[in-house]
Amino acid sequence: MNNNTKIKNETTSLGGVPAVGDAYRAWLRYAPLLPDQAKEYAPWCGKIVVASSGTAPLLAPAVEELAAGLGSMLGREPRRGQAADGEGCLVVGTLDSAELQGVADDAEAKALGDEGYVLRTVDEPGRRFIAIAGRTDRGALYGAFHFLRLLQTGRPIADLRIAEKPSGKIRMIDHWDNMDGSIERGYAGESVFFREGRFLEDPEDRKRLRDYARLMAAVGLNAVAINNVNVHEIETKLITPELLPSVAKAADVFREYGIRLYLSINFASPIEIGGLSTADPLDPEVKRWWAERAADAYRHVPDFGGFLVKADSEFRPGPFTYGRDHADGANMLAEALEPYGGIAIWRCFVYDCLQDWRDRTTDRARAAYDHFRPLDGKFRDNVILQIKNGPMDFQVREPVSPLIGGMRHTNQLLELQITQEYTGQQRHLCYLVPQWKEILDFDTHALGEGSTAAKAATGELFGRPLGGFAAVANIGSDLNWTGHLLAQANYYGYGRLTWSPELTSEQITDEWARISFGHDPVVIGTIKRMLLESWSIYESYTSPLGIGWMVNPGHHYGPNVDGYEYSKWGTYHFADSKGIGVDRTVATGTGFAGQYHDVPAARYELPESCPDELLLFFHHVPYRHRLKSGKTVIQHIYDSHFEGTEKAEELVKAWRSLEGKIDEERYESVLDRLQLQAAHAAEWRDVINTYFYRKTGIPDEHDRKIY
């Protein structure tokens, strides 16, 4: 199948003004509530009082959002009032304000940190209001979005006793946007930041960017890198006075919603634009040059977040050229940023990308750990290592990277991929929250049981000063932001998880479905089932048992079993007529399994204890090897591909059952993609099954059609 298969209607890119429809409004849709619900909420929502003791710029967007949201949901916009009284209202502000005295005690308030909030129903004689309050205005902003979400999801508000704060300090989105307007691995139109080498700065573009910032803040995100980590020629100049005024204008938009802007930088900048002869991180001239760039950046953007760096990776320049290591490189940048409170985010996606497929001793899966583990403790406190969730590259199924929880003295960001590079490219429904939950809940055993990847990432586990999450965005200029409308749930879910990694998939899915589609139990039940099963469905008809890849090289769409088998990328399955899989054991293989802490290391080392879904990632086994499921590997391949394709067809049926219960525009656009998915799933099924049948000569036990 062609990667350029046309998809209808909703993917049309915005020329200028976004058409304001449900698809565009996404989780800030604020659909009118049913009369019963409205009746319950209205008594509290007639008036908004702002309460702060000093400057609190983020209260303005909080109030604006509440006014718009409540107006839309309740049919009447609340008044702005000067003070709470006995009639019921919302008081939005900071806990140190007079109006909110006593709403939280000191201990409670302190526990909220800089971003937390309380939602409290105060119902005392003469004092009748709902407090939406943080220690900071930023906390109040997040509280406002939480309060709106309660109404969107139909929760009671008469007795609120909510206190929340985010799990990690940095909750980031990475855009792989290029200034020509293209997006690397983007499947939803063009960049919302750039076009033809320039920033998009028309009022309509600003409006869209502001709406995007609202969507981010609504799910608690607080950091954004606006340009691709592969920094090309023009983008190298983003850190210069030539482009910083435009960067500053974009930062203004995000600042309004409490989001700090980061730039991806080119490690070779001192040479490419600085006129220096070296980019050696220990060279005094180079250090001075970067210090000047940091100063420039903060002159234009006072709350600039810092630099994001992909170095010595996939042909990007880096410190290796000068015989230096990653710590030298990262620390040099961190030092430049330190005076301003900025941070250097250094990606760990480093491996040998000129590998010889004949060489089975080199293992790309080992690379990040091998490179960075020895440097633990050598990074400055304002360096964060950004670690991809798996040791390979955002495959449908990978084990969690052993580097997560592998470094005690180094700040970490766990990097996920919202954009569906290897998971169907937003043509296939693949809801990733269940995958992310498995990753976050993975027990690294770094400090014994309960040492989850989430805790390692946030810094909680080792008491690190910084930590959190980053993910590659799946949005673009498409009217519905994400191409596949249901892919909005991935962005939403990512944001929610960065705030509260303990939320269940079920909870997040329920929230998103209700916010997006209302409260009809049939609709919500159906959509939730579709979402929650979709990753498993996609996995079942693509590459089996954790082996990964088997996609067309380059664009990564569609089945191609040998697509990466004879390549330089270190991505092999080693399937021959007898068996398949990569031996990554300590005993007989590459030793990758030994990079984990004791418990997972032991589990992965033996085929008997290795989970079925990761078997071929860790072991080379005969096709007749029996899985824990009782099936042989080859029969599992056949079965999962036949069943996965059937389930992809059932997704179409399930969606069709909702016809008339969803607005036609969203209904048709999703149907279109689900049908495409079912057709492509059949292609996957036939190619994979045929490949293995032709290679093994072992027939399907159920004698189904294989070509």
Applying CB under 8 A, the residues found at the interface with a copy of itself are 357-358, 559-562, 566, 575-578, 686-687, 690-691, 693-697, 707
For a copy of itself, which is the closer residue by CB, 488 or 689?
Answer: 689
- 211, 363, 421, 613: the catalytic one is 421
What the block records as the tokens of 242 is 């030539």
In angstroms, the CA 431 to CA 551 distance is 19
Beta bridge partners of 471: 173, 416
Beta bridge partners of 48: 80, 90
The least distance separating a copy of itself from the CB of residue 647, rounded to whole angstroms, comes to 21
Q: Which of 192, 324, 303, 215 is nearest to 252 (CA)?
A: 303
Helix (H, G, I), strand (E, B) or coil at 382: coil
For a copy of itself, which is the closer residue by CB, 207 or 695?
Answer: 695
The least distance separating a copy of itself from the CB of residue 637, rounded to whole angstroms, comes to 15
The least distance separating a copy of itself from the CB of residue 706, rounded to whole angstroms, comes to 10
For a copy of itself, which is the closer residue by CB, 79 or 694?
Answer: 694
Phi-psi sector, 127: left (phi>0), alpha (psi -120 to 50), beta: beta
Q: Determine the longest span between alpha carbons in the chain, in angstroms.
A: 82
Q: Which of 694, 683, 549 is nearest to 634 (CA)?
A: 694
DSSP-derived secondary structure for 439-473: HHH-B--BTBTT-BHHHHHHSTTTT-S-EEEEEE-
H helices of 256-401, where?
269-272, 284-300, 326-337, 367-372
Mark whether 421 is an active-site residue.
Answer: yes
Q: What is the DSSP letter of 184?
A: T
The least distance separating a copy of itself from the CB of residue 267, rounded to whole angstroms, comes to 23
For a copy of itself, which is the closer residue by CB, 234 or 698?
Answer: 698
Residue 53 to residues 83, 110, 117, 119, 256, Cα–Cα distance (Å): 14, 17, 16, 19, 19
For a copy of itself, which is the closer residue by CB, 5 or 629?
Answer: 5
- Do the Cβ atoms of 390 and 400 come closer than 8 Å? yes
- 105, 114, 292, 314: the catalytic one is 314
What the block records as the tokens of 598 is 């004791």
Q: 478: how many CB neighbours lie within 10 A of its CB? A: 27
The least distance separating a copy of itself from the CB of residue 109, rounded to whole angstroms, comes to 60
For a copy of itself, which is the closer residue by CB, 561 or 637?
Answer: 561
For a copy of itself, which is the closer residue by CB, 664 or 707?
Answer: 707
Mark whether 393 is an active-site residue.
Answer: yes
The least distance separating a copy of itself from the CB of residue 678, rounded to whole angstroms, comes to 16
Q: What is the DSSP letter of 58?
A: T
For a copy of itself, which is the closer residue by CB, 5 or 277?
Answer: 5
For a copy of itself, which is the closer residue by CB, 149 or 620?
Answer: 620
Q: Give every CB contact of residue 24 below 8 A, 6+ residues apart in sequence.
A: 18, 211, 479, 480, 481
- 393, 478, 605, 639: the catalytic one is 393
Q: Give every CB contact of residue 152 below 8 A, 6+ residues apart in sequence.
A: 27, 29, 30, 31, 73, 514, 515
In angstroms, the CA 681 to CA 514 distance is 28
Mark whether 686 is an active-site residue.
Answer: no
The least distance separating a copy of itself from the CB of residue 696, rounded to whole angstroms, comes to 6
The least distance separating a copy of itself from the CB of residue 188, rounded to whole angstroms, comes to 25
The least distance separating a copy of itself from the CB of residue 552, rounded to whole angstroms, comes to 8
The least distance separating a copy of itself from the CB of residue 336, rounded to whole angstroms, comes to 35
What the block records as the tokens of 62 is 């909080």
Q: Which of 321, 324, 326, 297 is nearest to 384 (CA)?
A: 326
Q: How far is CA 320 from the centre of its chain?
A: 29
Q: What is the DSSP letter of 379?
A: S
Please report where in the chains the tokens 């941070």 appear, as a residue. Answer: 343
For a copy of itself, which is the closer residue by CB, 114 or 356?
Answer: 356
Q: For the purposes of burial, counting CB atoms within 10 Å of the CB of 407, is it exposed (0-12), middle (13-18) or buried (19 or more)?
A: buried
In angstroms, the CA 183 to CA 189 distance is 8
Q: 363: how many CB neighbours lie within 10 A of its CB? A: 22
Tell me the one-letter amino acid at 143.
G
Active-site annotation, residues:
314, 393, 421
